[in-house]
């Protein structure tokens, strides 16, 4: 049995596998399948200051080797999360990552402050959502704005702060450096890639929102490339995700530079995916003489 413990932003996880935000709810639907204590942690559904109904359906569509979604951050709001979901999660002996989002810098900071003193182990700030005060462009597409929202949340929060980057940018490295300068303790990447499909019979987009986020195995090579570039450009740790479906994928993205791994779309195909990945990493370590999984982080040998 290899040592699967990893550390991210000063927080120790019993293993590197974390279900990704929006693909695992608050874990309730999975509790009857396996103990949530098997997981390194859970990144919960994106929480906003106020309740959100999300986008109009259809908002999920299958694509070759992936899926498109435009769920639109449907959630019950921060108060309900703290009152009803957090106590249940806190009893599960796994790390709790609160994924948060807002429409303004002030909203993000207010939400982060509400989590001070709670059982949350880490905040994951999703900067892929539109900033209504800056013409609706996502926070994460502009270095200055990405740095500013990170700084505001850092100042408001007493929790370790991981900032989740959008891949829909020209230079992910520049954005990563900006959030590092803003005070992020870690970065996670990638969020979904903006995509679109059209039903040629109706000539309607398959999603009511017209466009949506692509995830699943189709995006894995993009995720590996971005994790590798970012890990080589910043000093803070990286949490890798985007199409991770197997233990081999998890090991690959860790070799690219990720200290821990999130698993998203794969859970829709197989709800046991996270625990299969944990067992597979352990087996791979044993077979390859790796005593501690953290030894493999960033060990790719580029040409």
Ligand X SMILES: Cc1cc2nc3c(=O)[nH]c(=O)nc-3n(C[C@H](O)[C@H](O)[C@H](O)COP(=O)(O)O)c2cc1C
We find the least distance from the C-beta atom of residue 203 to ligand X, in angstroms, to be: 25
Residue from 183, 207, 187, 189 nearest 197 by CA: 207
Q: Give the footprint of ligand X on residues 90-129 (CB under 6 A).
A: 99, 126
Dig out the tokens for 213 from the structure. Answer: 């986020």
Three-state SS at 150: helix
b/e sequence 243-273, b meaning 16+ C-beta within 10 Å: bbbbbebbbbbbbbbbbbbbbbbbbbeeeeb
b/e sequence 1-34, b meaning 16+ C-beta within 10 Å: ebebebebbebebbbbbbbbbbbbebbeebeeee
Site string for ligand X, 161-180 (x = CB under 6 A): ---x----------------
Contact pick of 141, 178, 215, 282 for ligand X (by CB under 6 A): 215
We find the least distance from the C-beta atom of residue 52 to ligand X, in angstroms, to be: 10
Report, as residue numbers or ranges, the catalytic residues: 129
We find the least distance from the C-beta atom of residue 215 to ligand X, in angstroms, to be: 3
Q: Which of 1-9, 140-148, 177-185, 237-245 is the region at the interface with ligand X (rule: CB under 6 A)? A: 237-245
Q: Are 223 and 253 contacting, i.e. CB atoms less than 8 angstroms apart?
A: yes
Residue nearest ligand X, CB atom distance: 22
Three-state SS at 66: strand
User: Which run of H or of E encompasses 67?
Assistant: strand 66-69
206 binds ligand X (CB under 6 A): no
Q: Are 6 and 13 contacting, i.e. CB atoms less than 8 angstroms apart?
A: yes
Contact pick of 8, 96, 244, 278 for ligand X (by CB under 6 A): 244
Site string for ligand X, 51-90 (x = CB under 6 A): ----------------x-x-x-x-----------------
45 binds ligand X (CB under 6 A): yes
Q: Are 2 and 290 contacting, i.e. CB atoms less than 8 angstroms apart?
A: yes
- Give the interface size with ligand X as a residue count (CB under 6 A): 26
In sequence order, which residues have a C-beta less than 8 Å from that of residue 94 and are 6 or more positions away?
14, 36, 37, 38, 39, 40, 41, 42
We find the least distance from the C-beta atom of residue 81 to ligand X, in angstroms, to be: 12
Which residue number, 162 or 234, has a Cβ lying nearer to ligand X?
A: 162
Which residue number, 157 or 192, has a Cβ lying nearer to ligand X?
A: 192
240 binds ligand X (CB under 6 A): no
Q: Are 129 and 103 contacting, i.e. CB atoms less than 8 angstroms apart?
A: yes
Contact pick of 165, 219, 231, 281 for ligand X (by CB under 6 A): 219
We find the least distance from the C-beta atom of residue 56 to ligand X, in angstroms, to be: 15
We find the least distance from the C-beta atom of residue 191 to ligand X, in angstroms, to be: 4
Q: How many residues does the chain have?
A: 303
Q: Give the footprint of ligand X on residues 262-291 (CB under 6 A).
A: 263-266
Contact pick of 16, 27, 40, 46 for ligand X (by CB under 6 A): 46
What does the alpha-carbon distance between residue 223 and residue 100 come to, in Å, rounded to a whole number?
21
Q: Are 40 and 259 contacting, i.e. CB atoms less than 8 angstroms apart?
A: no
Tell me which residues touch ligand X (CB under 6 A): 20-23, 45-46, 67, 69, 71, 73, 99, 126, 164, 191-192, 215-216, 219, 241-244, 263-266
């Amino acid at each position: 049995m290899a040592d699967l413990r990893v550390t991210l932003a000063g927080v120790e996880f019993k293993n590197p596998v974390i279900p990704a935000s929006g693909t695992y709810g608050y874990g309730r639907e999975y509790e009857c399948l396996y103990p949530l204590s098997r997981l390194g942690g859970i990144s919960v559904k994106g929480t906003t200051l106020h309740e959100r109904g999300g986008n109009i359906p259809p908002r999920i569509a299958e694509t070759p080797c992936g899926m498109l979604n435009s769920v639109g951050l449907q959630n019950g709001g921060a108060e309900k999360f703290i009152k009803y979901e957090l106590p249940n999660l806190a009893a599960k002996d796994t790390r709790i990552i609160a994924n948060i989002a807002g429409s303004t810098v002030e909203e993000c900071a207010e939400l982060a402050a509400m989590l001070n003193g709670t059982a949350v182990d880490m905040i994951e700030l999703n900067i892929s959502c539109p900033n209504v005060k800056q013409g609706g462009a996502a926070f994460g597409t502009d270095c200055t704005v990405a740095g500013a929202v990170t700084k505001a949340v850092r100042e408001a929060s007493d929790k370790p702060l991981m900032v989740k980057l959008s891949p829909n940018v020209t230079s992910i490295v520049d954005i990563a450096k900006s959030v590092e300068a803003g005070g992020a303790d870690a970065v996670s990447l990638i969020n979904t890639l903006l995509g679109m499909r059209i039903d040629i019979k109706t000539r309607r987009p398959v999603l009511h929102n017209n466009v949506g986020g692509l995830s699943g195995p189709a995006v894995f090579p993009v995720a590996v490339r971005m994790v590798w570039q970012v890990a080589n450009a910043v000093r803070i740790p990286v949490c890798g995700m985007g199409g991770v479906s197997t233990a081999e994928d998890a090991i690959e993205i860790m070799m690219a530079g990720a200290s821990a791994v999130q698993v998203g779309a794969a859970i829709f195909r197989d709800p046991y995916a996270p625990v299969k990945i944990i067992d597979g990493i352990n087996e791979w370590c044993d077979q390859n003489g790796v005593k501690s999984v953290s030894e493999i982080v960033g060990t790719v040998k580029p040409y």
